[in-house]
Structure 1
Amino acid sequence: MNTRARLAVLVSALALVPCIGAADAALRETVASQVAADYPSLDALYQDLHGRPELSLMEERTAGIVARELRNAGFEVTERVGGFGVVGVLKNGPGPTLLIRTDLDGLPVEEETGLPYASKTRVKDLAGREVATMHACGHDIHMTVFAGTARMLASLKARWSGTLVLIGQPAEERGIGARAMLADGLYTKFPKPDFAIALHDMATLPAGTVGTIEGYSMANVDSIDITVRGIGGHGAYPHTTKDPIVLAAKIVLALQTIVSRETRPVDPAVVTVGSIHGGTKHNIIPDEVKLQLTLRSYTDEVRTRTIEAVKRICRGEAIASGIPDDRMPIVTMSEGEFTPANYNDPALTQRVRGALTAWLGSDRVKTIEPEMGGEDFSRYGRTAERVPICLFRLGAVAPEKVAESERSGQPLPSLHSSKFAPLPEPTIKTGVTAMTGAALELLGKK
C-alpha cells in the first residue's frame, strides 16, 4: 500500500470517530429519556415492594411480581426454581449468554425510617413467630433496578445480540438461595451463562455513584455453635464442679488469638462471638454454656485453618480445665448456611467498570474496598463451569448525608439497620443505567 493509499485509509478511519461518538451519545440519551419516562412506574413498584417485604423462603408474592415484570418485558419465564426462584430468558440471536441476578427477600427488622411508605408488615416466620419485616438490605431497590433493566434491554434488542438470563433469587439473607437454584438446574435447564453480574446497594456510597473492585469483594461466612459442657453444682461449693462459665470465658479469650497470632497479618479474617448463654440463677453453676460464632475469611485455606483452630482451642481449654473426655465441648458447623467468598473476575470487572465509566462518567465510578460481609451471588462463579462473575455496588445515600457523616465522624445507618433508607430516584435511575450499560458492553453488537 503506497503512502497516498495509507493516508486515505487513515482519513476514512478518522472520519468514523465522530459518527461512533455521536451514536454512543444518542444511545445514552435514548436510555436516559426512557429511564426518566419509566421512573414513575418504577417508583410505584419500589414503594409496593418496600412496603410488603417477605422473609427468606417465603417470597411468594414478591416472586410473582418479578415474574410478571419479566413476562411483560417479553421474557420466557419459569417460576419456582429452587423454591421461589424466578428465571426469565430472552434470546436475541447469536452471541454470549449473560446472567443478571436480583435477590428477593427481606429481613425480620421493624422499620424505623419514618418514611410515608415504610413497611408496617408483620408476618409469621418459618418458626411460627410473629415478626416485623423490612427491606433493610435494599433488595427492593435491586428488584426495581432489575425490572427497569429488563424493560430497557428488551426495548434495545437492535443494539445487542445473545441471550439474557435474568433471575430472581430467594433466600439470599440465609445464604442458601443461589445454591438451591443451581441445584434445581439453573445451569442445565436454562442457557448456561458466559458471564454473571449483579449489583448491591451500599450504605456509604452517595446515590448517583457506583463502585467496583477486582478480586475478593465479600467474605466466606461460617456460623459455628459451641456447647461448652461442665459439671454443675452449687455456687457456694465450686470445688465440687467443673464450671462451664469460666471455661466459656477462657475459650472466648483464646479465640481472639486465632486472628492476632495464628493468621498471617496480610490474610483477612474475623472471629466474632455473637452470643453467649448459660446459667439460670446467681448461686447455680450450670452444666453447660452455649456460644454462637461467625467466622469471616476470603481464601479457602484461611477458612479451613480458622475452623480447625476453633475446634482445637475448645478441646485444649477443656482439657486444661479438667473436663472429662465425655464432657468435651461440642462444636457444630452450620454448613447449610455457609456463604463462600465473592471473587470478582478481574477481566470481567474491568469490562464492567469501563462500561460504567462510559455511561456515568469517571467521577461517578468509585474504587471500593473489600468487605467482610457475605453474598451468595458468589456461588454462581464457584460451580464446575467456573462462570466469571462481577458484583458491583450501587450508591444509595443522599450525598449531603454522606458528606455530613464524613465531616462529623457519625456513622450512617448500615445495611440491616432499622433506619436504613435509600434515596430512591437517583439510586434507581443510576442502577438501571449502570446495569443496562454493563449488559450492552457484554452483549453489544460490535
Structure 2
Amino acid sequence: MQHLIPRIQTLAAEAAAETIALREHLHANPELSFQEFNTVAYVTKQLQELGLQTQPIANTGVVALIEGRNPSVRTVALRADMDALPITEQNEVAYKSTNPGVMHACGHDVHTSSLLGTARILTQLRDEFEGTVKLMFQPGEELLPGGASLMIKEGVLENPKPASVLGQHVFPRLPAGKIGVRAGRYMASTDELYLTVRGKGGHGAMPEQNIDPVLVAAHIIVAAQQIVSRRANPKLPSVLSFGKVIAQGATNVIPNEVYMEGTFRTLNEEWRNEAHEHLRRLCEGLAESMGATCELEIRRGYPYLENEPELTSRVEQAAIQYLGAENVVELDQWMAAEDFAYFSQAASACFYRLGTAAADGSGRYTSSVHTPTFDIDTKALETGPGLMAWLTLRELAEQPA
C-alpha cells in the first residue's frame, strides 16, 4: 500500500492548479449557511464530471460514492462543509468575494475544493482499493442546528454505513505542508445563552424607588463565573462568557430591563447538563433576591468533538508516512466548536487540522479564521487532497471487513 504514496503525491501535484481554481471560484462566490444553492450546484457539477452519481441531502448538501473493488466490503466517509460567514472581505485579491457582506473567512472553500481534489485522485485509483468512499458535502456548519445533524437525521451515515469518518479544518497558525492531530476530546460543545433581567425603571437620582436591572445583571455576570471556577472540575475545561449586554437607559435613567447574550462551552456532556441547571438557578435566584426577575433561554448547540483514539493513531501514522514526522504536530484542545462533533458522537471519527500559513516562514496568511483578512498559502491545496486520499486508502485497507 505504501508504494502508492509517490503516485498520490504526483496526482495531487498535477491537480493542484485545478484545485486552486475550484477554491478561488468558491471563495469569490460565498453563500451563507443553508443558502448554498449555487455552491451545491457547482459542487454537484464537479462530481458528475468525475463520473460520480450524486444525491442531494439536507436541502443544500450533496453526497456521492466512489466505489472501488468489492464496494460492499467497507466504507470510509469524508466530509467538507460549504457555507460562508456574514463578514465583509478586506483582502484585495483577484478572487475576492463578489457577494457583499459574505466571505469564506473560515476556510470552507478550502475544505470543499480539497475534498473535490481528493475525489479526483481517488477516482483514478479505483483499481487500487477495496470498498467505498462516501463524499459528504455539508451545508450550514456555522449556524444551529448545524448541517451535520440534519444530514445524520436524513441517513447520511447509513446505506452504506461508514466504518470511519474523516474531516479536516484549516489552521492559520500552522505552515502549509503540515497538519495537526489530537486524539480524544479536542473541541468544545457550544450553547448560546439569552438572558432578560426585568426590574422597575425610573430616575437615576431616585434609586430607592426603582429595582435596578443593570445592577442585577452586573451581579449575575460576576457571580456566574463561579460556576466555572468553583463548580467545574479544575481538570475539565469550561468557558462562560457574556459578549452582549443591552441596557436602554441613559445617564440619569434606570431602564426597566437588561438583555444579555453569552456562550457556555465545555468538553463533557454530563457536566454540560449540570452547568445549565447551576446557571439557571443562579440567575433566577440572584434576580429574585434583589427584587427582580430573570428569564434565561439556553439554546443547546453542538456537542463536544471526540477524536476516536485508535482511528486518530492510524491517521497520525499514515500522515507521518505521507508528510514526514516533522510535518505532523500534536494539537492542544481548542474551545471553539464544530458541528463535525455530531459525526464524532455517532461514528468513529477523526478531525484534523490543515496548515495554511505561508510555508516559507514569511508570516503571511496568519490572520485568524472569522476575520476579514483570512487567506491561505495555496500549497495547502496540494497537501490537503493528497493526504486525505492517502488516509482514505490506508483506512480502507486496515478496517476489518
Give the TM-score normalised by the residue count of structure 2: 0.95
- What displacement does 1:412 show? 4.0
Structure 1 counterpart of 2:298, from 333, 336, 358: 333
**Can you list the C-alpha shifts for 1:260-291, whole angstroms capped at 9, x where unaligned?**
12212111000000100012432221111011
Q: Identify if the C-alpha distance between structure 1 residues 168 and 404 changes in structure 2 by more than 3 Å, giving closer, same or farther.
A: closer
Aligned to 1:438: 391
- What displacement does 1:28 show? 2.1
Secondary structure at the aligned position of 1:305 is classed as helix
Aligned to 1:3: none
- What displacement does 1:305 show? 2.2
Q: Which amino acid aligns with 1:105?
A: D
Whole-Å Cα distance in 2 between the matches of residues 183 and 351 of structure 1?
28
Structure 1 residue 37 corresponds to structure 2 residue 9: no
Q: Which amino acid aligns with 1:420?
A: F
Superposition CA RMSD, Å: 1.8
Describe how 1:307-346 pairs up with structure 2 within 5 A: 307-323=276-292, 328-335=293-300, 338-346=301-309
Secondary structure at the aligned position of 1:444 is classed as helix
Q: Which amino acid aligns with 1:102?
A: A
Contiguous gaps of at least 5 residues in structure 1:
1-22, 123-131, 406-410
Q: Which amino acid aligns with 1:62?
A: T
Structure 1 residue 233 corresponds to structure 2 residue 202: yes
- What displacement does 1:115 show? 2.3
Structure 2 counterpart of 1:87, from 63, 75, 85: 63
Aligned to 1:258: 227
Aligned to 1:414: 368
Describe how 1:5-44 pairs up with structure 2 within 5 A: 24-25=2-3, 27-44=4-21
Aligned to 1:15: none
Structure 2 counterpart of 1:76, from 36, 45, 53: 53
Q: Identify if the C-alpha distance between structure 1 residues 445 and 389 changes in structure 2 by more than 3 Å, giving closer, same or farther.
A: closer
Q: Which amino acid aligns with 1:308?
A: E
- What displacement does 1:76 show? 1.9
- What displacement does 1:382 show? 2.2
Deviating more after overlay: 84-93 vs 240-249? 84-93
Asked whether the equivalents of residues 344 and 350 of structure 2 are also in contact (C-alpha less than 8 Å), the reply is no
Asked whether the equivalents of residues 8 and 390 of structure 2 are also in contact (C-alpha less than 8 Å), the reply is no
Whole-Å Cα distance in 1 between the matches of residues 5 and 105 of structure 2?
32
Identity of aligned residues (%): 34
Question: Rg bigger for which structure?
Answer: 1
Structure 1 residue 181 corresponds to structure 2 residue 151: yes
- What displacement does 1:233 show? 1.4
Aligned to 1:218: 187
Structure 1 counterpart of 2:377, from 420, 423, 427: 423
Secondary structure at the aligned position of 2:190 is classed as strand
Aligned to 1:138: 107
Whole-Å Cα distance in 1 between the matches of residues 181 and 398 of structure 2?
24
Structure 1 residue 291 corresponds to structure 2 residue 260: yes
Q: Identify if the C-alpha distance between structure 1 residues 162 and 300 changes in structure 2 by more than 3 Å, giving closer, same or farther.
A: same
Aligned to 1:351: 314
Secondary structure at the aligned position of 1:334 is classed as strand
Aligned to 1:60: 37
**Can you list the C-alpha shifts for 1:105-148, whole angstroms capped at 9, x where unaligned?**
000001112223221312xxxxxxxxx11100000110111000
Q: Which amino acid aligns with 1:252?
A: I
Question: Alignment length, in residue pairs?
Answer: 396
- What displacement does 1:42 show? 1.3
- What displacement does 1:394 show? 0.3
Whole-Å Cα distance in 2 between the matches of residues 366 and 38 of structure 1?
26
Secondary structure at the aligned position of 2:350 is classed as strand
Secondary structure at the aligned position of 1:329 is classed as strand
Asked whether the equivalents of residues 97 and 164 of structure 1 are also in contact (C-alpha less than 8 Å), the reply is yes
Whole-Å Cα distance in 1 between the matches of residues 125 and 267 of structure 2?
38
Give the TM-score normalised by the residue count of structure 1: 0.85
Structure 1 counterpart of 2:165, from 169, 179, 196: 196
Describe how 1:89-128 pairs up with structure 2 within 5 A: 89-92=65-68, 93=70, 94-122=72-100
- What displacement does 1:62 show? 0.7
Asked whether the equivalents of residues 318 and 391 of structure 2 are also in contact (C-alpha less than 8 Å), the reply is yes
Q: Which amino acid aligns with 1:87?
A: V
**Can you list the C-alpha shifts for 1:207-247, whole angstroms capped at 9, x where unaligned?**
11011100011100000100011111122211111000011
Secondary structure at the aligned position of 1:174 is classed as coil
Aligned to 1:394: 354
Q: Which amino acid aligns with 2:314?
A: R
Contiguous gaps of at least 5 residues in structure 2:
none
Whole-Å Cα distance in 2 between the matches of residues 145 and 309 of structure 1?
43
Q: Which amino acid aligns with 1:332?
A: E
Deviating more after overlay: 221-230 vs 258-267? 258-267
**Can you list the C-alpha shifts for 1:78-100, whole angstroms capped at 9, x where unaligned?**
12x11201010223214211110
Q: Which amino acid aligns with 2:374?
A: F
Whole-Å Cα distance in 1 between the matches of residues 233 and 19 of structure 2?
47
Asked whether the equivalents of residues 153 and 436 of structure 1 are also in contact (C-alpha less than 8 Å), the reply is yes
Deviating more after overlay: 227-236 vs 207-216? 227-236
